[in-house]
Structure 1
């Protein structure tokens, strides 16, 4: 597991604190993937209701609270594939 993914898993566990129902995948370009589901947050590449893809810098900015996920999506820095409702709910939890 890359250090970026390891740090992101830990940060997401703290931010979400079991508050997301559904399955989401974050793809951090050139680093790996993270799965969020009813069992928690972990590295993985399973199928998900929604997949969010960003580069390392964008993903870190979202986690740090420096970049709103909706703004990242609207400016093309974050791509979303799948259930937009789940993406919006997840974005609200990360903001």
Structure 2
């Protein structure tokens, strides 16, 4: 697992205490992070929604410097799957 994925899993584990649903972040060139009822882990499982961004965008969202909705609306974050689940995740990260 890359250093970026390791750091992202750690940061998300601190931010998200419980999540009803399943989501996957794909960090371009690095891999995927799955968030579900079992917690946060590196992986490529099937999920309700998949969010894709580059490492810089993902880090800005984690740091609170970029709102996930703004990232989506400006094309920095792409979404495939259930928008409602993505919105729940966005609320957890804000």
TM-score for both structures, normalised by structure 1: 0.97
Aligned 1:1-95 pairs, distance under 5 A: 1-18=1-18, 20-95=19-94
Unpaired runs of at least 5, structure 1:
none
Deviation at 1:37, TM superposition (A): 0.8
1: CA distance, partners of 2:48 / 2:33:
13
Tell me the C-alpha RMSD between the 2 structures.
0.5
Unpaired runs of at least 5, structure 2:
none
Query: How many residue pairs align between the two structures?
Result: 94
Deviation at 1:63, TM superposition (A): 0.2
2: CA distance, partners of 1:91 / 1:53:
13
Deviation at 1:82, TM superposition (A): 0.2
1: CA distance, partners of 2:17 / 2:11:
10
1: CA distance, partners of 2:54 / 2:30:
9
